Structure 1
Amino acid sequence: MAERYYNLQLGLSLIGTIWYGIIWSIGLLGCWTARKRYRSRPPPLPSAPPSSTPGVSILRPLKGLDTNLFENLKSSFRQDYPNFEILLSVADDRDEALPVVRELISQYPNVNARVIIGDEDVGVNPKVNNLMRPYNEAAHDILWVLDSNIAVAPGTLTRAIGILSGPSPSNPIPPRRRIALVHHVPFAISNQVSFGAQVEEAFLNTNHAKMYIAINAVAVDSCVVGKSNLFRRSDLERLDGSLVRQKNRENSRQGRGLAAFGRFIAEDNMIGLALWHELDVRHSLSCDVVYNALGDMSLTDYVWRRVRWIRVRKYMSLLVTFLEPFTESVMLSAVTAMSVRFLIGVPIRLFLPVHFFLWVMVDLDVYASLAGHSLPVAKWGHFLVAWAVRELLAFPIWVLAVVGNEVEWRGRRYRLLRDGEVERIGRGRSAVL
């Protein structure tokens, strides 16, 4: 019995130590890739006449006065690209975003921009409903969907088009499969003193970005955040959201295109998955980040935001969701500390400080790569407190998330169904998007 117990401990300790090495390898890959991609961003390509560049329709779905809305939308008008239009859409003519939109259109009369009022009901997802009219009315095949809380640098569109268009003189080697979607890492910016916003900022700019970049570097499957996505409408029109590749598809457009994703709450991720699996094409991260303006957010808001998206992931990728706690620093360190103590006698009190010191150093390096500068010394105190709270809350939030099947989004309540679909179940309290 003693020998059997020893062998069990030995096996579990070996598994724990190997898993620790795997997670560190993924984290270091994310850190190294962030350094390589974001610390030496190339300048935009030289300007070309509109007739020789593909046209782009920038779609910005709006609802209310999001944080920094004027500057976020203004960044679309200031793109260093010769051939684009901007379609700004709201669901109804009483939306508070309309005065901001009209002011920008008047300030930039030379930019081809217009507002579209009124949505089209194709499912339970209000963002998809809001996008349907601009999606159908867009003049160009290439669409750039940007959330209303996102700002972008002037050269972002030009560099993204260079990736979407394929090999160029500066990048003559084509990928094995064509790139059908270009997306961007969101870099959170918070001028709020609210603690929840600080925790969200620490999360998005370190652990989230690190893992997002690493997963896309490995590229074994689609992983897309929908803050900023470029794709072709002609590709979406071939999708039905089944995630199954079919060699002989019918020509009927019924149930295809953007409307096919109105039944999902995470339409961005589902579109990425559908492109990957139905069309067998691939995605690419750009060398630009996009700037995610965070509004006032309490710690409770932060918790329920994380709960919402973990629950959504649970119904799309069950195994990955259940492994998630063992990728977080606290649970991972606890398991590994016991493992290495059993295997080689390293004291837990020595292992844990070294683990957390190295972990936060890697996260700070990722932050510096995305920001273009190191975290200012004056912000270290606030950042470290917010970072520590995020790490400590990761497991309790996960437990809370996995035991439920309902989420709140934009003041609406949904029940999660299999394969990421949702159904509306009534009105709930306001939620932070």
Structure 2
Amino acid sequence: MTTVLGSLLIILTLGAIVFYLACLGCTLYFFTQPDRALKSDDPPVSIMVPVCGLDTGAWENWSSLCQQDYPNYEVLFGVVDPKDPAVVVLEKLVATFPARSRLKVGLEPRGINHKDSTLSYLLEEAKNEVIIFVDSDIRVNKDYIRTVTAPLADPEVGMVTCAFVGHNPESLGGAIASYGRCIDFIPSLLLARILDGGLRCAVGATIATRKSTLTDYDGLHLNRIGSDYNIGKRAAAAGYRVELSRYILNSDTGKESLRDVFQRELRWARTIRFNRGAQYYTMIFCYGTIFSLPLLFLPGFHAQGIIICAIAWLIRYLQVLIALLLLNCPKLLRWLWIVPLRDFLSVLVWAMGAFGNSVYWRGRRLRVQGDGIISPWDRRGDEVTG
């Protein structure tokens, strides 16, 4: 039994070492390629921001969207609950930038996914063909619109999306979240882009597209979890190219707790499982640092364990440092000591994401079914239909 367990751990660790090296290579390749010359005539753009609650740095995030170095654009904010604390701040924002921004409040949900429901209202109000969906906790530079819309000048590009990190977390939970995005999510996304022959998902932090193109891949789905992931998959299936921008967004992670991070990442994990199917389980080869540790204590594997464990951790830290450097996250270096904790949390999230069909999202417990369809969940675990 010990021999079988030890051999299994060695296989998993060696597989993860290959994974770390592949992530390192994909990250280097993506961020060191010369920029493509993209010509755009700066078409009018509509930015849509669904808002629920008042995130840390909300004013700075939202005002950054209203101060773009771009000739013709509008920013539409939408809120479901008229009593949401964000409304007061948004009203002040609209008064400050009346020529750029508009606010819609009391948008009765049209489906279980309140975010996409709000976007559906804003989409009806948008004046322009080129549109950008933006998460409310994102802060951008003045060249944001021009950067993310430029690839749409190519008619074969149906969507542009951006990854995001928290560059300067203020808490352990925030640092854990930032490291997950920087050293795991983005490198894995780049690897999947190579293996799939192109990006087949999108990241909800930013999705730039056209109204007409959105219709071609069946628009917004109001009863689906991970709709951003799914809409990218549908765009690729419709024959469009989904571009990942090298523009890395700044997401203010604030002082979120480890519990908040865990619940969000478990929701993401189950979303990926419902969207990727059996491919989800191949992610077991992504956690070599954790799987290598028991080898140090298994009888008969001590010598091999020391060598394999050392190689796994050295390559992992090399991959981490390359990611932090290329994603321009120097302030995350002071949190290097949390990598073991980050990796332990990642394997725990993956294991729990491998089963179960419930998620927590904005204070609501939801049931997830085939292909990411969601419905409410009552205290007995039964579906609520009314």
Taking structure 1 as the reference length, the TM-score comes to 0.77
**Residues 71-92 of structure 1: CA distance to partner in whole angstroms, max 9, x if unpaired?**
1111111211111111111113
* 2:227 alignment partner in structure 1: 267
Alignment partner of 1:74 is 2:63: yes
Aligned residue number for residue 127 of structure 1: 115
Q: Which residue of structure 2 aligns with residue 393 of structure 1? A: 345
- Structure 1 CA distance for aligned equivalents of residues 9 and 379 of structure 2: 48
**In the TM superposition, what is the alpha-carbon distance from 1:223 to its structure 2 partner?**
2.6
CA displacement 1:165-198 (0-9 Å, x = unmatched): 12xxxxxxxxxx81111011102144423x2222
The residue aligned with 2:323 is: 366
Q: How does 1:2-401 map to 2 (within 5 A)?
A: 19-20=15-16, 22-36=18-32, 52-109=41-98, 111-166=99-154, 178-193=156-171, 195-220=172-197, 222-240=200-218, 257-258=219-220, 261-277=221-237, 279-331=238-290, 333=292, 347-371=304-328, 374-375=330-331, 379-380=333-334, 383-401=335-353
> Which letter does structure 2 place at the counterpart of 1:76?
L
Amino acid at match of 1:23: F
Partner SS state of residue 60, structure 1 = strand
- The answer on whether the counterparts of 1:325 and 1:332 sit within 8 Å (CA) in structure 2 is no
Cα deviation for residue 281 of structure 1 reads 0.8
Match for 2:174: what amino acid? A
- Secondary structure of the 1:357 match is helix
For 1:269, give the aligned amino acid: Y
How far apart are 1:19 and its partner, in Å?
3.7
- SS of alignment partner, residue 85 of structure 1: strand
Which deviations, in whole Å up to 9, do the C-alpha atoms of 1:110-147 show, x marking residues without a partner? x4211112325332101011111111110011111110
Cα distance between partner residues in 2 of 1:179 and 1:190: 33
SS at the partner of 1:288? coil
Q: Which SS does the other structure have where 2:360 is aligned?
A: strand
TM-score, scaled to structure 2: 0.86
Asked whether the 8 Å contact 2:9–2:291 carries over to 1, the reply is no
1:349 and 1:15 map into 2 onto residues whose CA distance is: 15
Structure 1 window deviating more from structure 2 (135-144 vs 323-332): it is 323-332
Change (3 A) 1:365 1:14: closer
1:393–1:92 Cα change, 3 Å: closer
- Please list every run of 5 or more consecutive structure 1 residues that lacks an aligned counterpart in the other structure: 1-5, 167-176, 241-256, 429-433
Quote the RMSD (CA, aligned, Å): 3.2
Deviation string for 1:324-368 (max 9, x for gaps)?
121223356469999xx99xx973212312321221122121112
Name the stretch that deviates more: 361-370 or 81-90.
361-370
1:224, 1:272 within 8 Å by CA — same for their partners in 2?
Answer: yes
Q: Structure 1 counterpart of 2:141, which letter? A: A
* 1:150 shift after superposition: 0.5
Q: How far 1:20 moved relative to its partner?
A: 4.7
- Equivalent-residue separation in structure 1 for 2:253 and 2:159 (angstroms): 25
Is the Cα contact below 8 Å between 1:325 and 1:394 reproduced in 2? Answer: no
Alpha-carbon shift at residue 390 of structure 1 (Å):
1.0
User: What stretches of structure 1 move > 4 A for 4+ residues in a row?
Assistant: 11-18, 40-45, 331-338
How many angstroms apart in 2 are the aligned matches of 1:427 and 1:189? Answer: 39
For residues 291 and 44 of structure 1, the distance between their equivalents in structure 2, rounded to whole angstroms, comes to 23
Structure 2 stretches of 5 or more lacking a match? Answer: 381-386
Task: Work out which of the two has the higher radius of gyration on C-alpha atoms and give 1 or 2.
Answer: 1
Taking a change above 3 Å as real, the CA distance of residues 130 and 272 of structure 1, as seen in their structure-2 partners, is: same
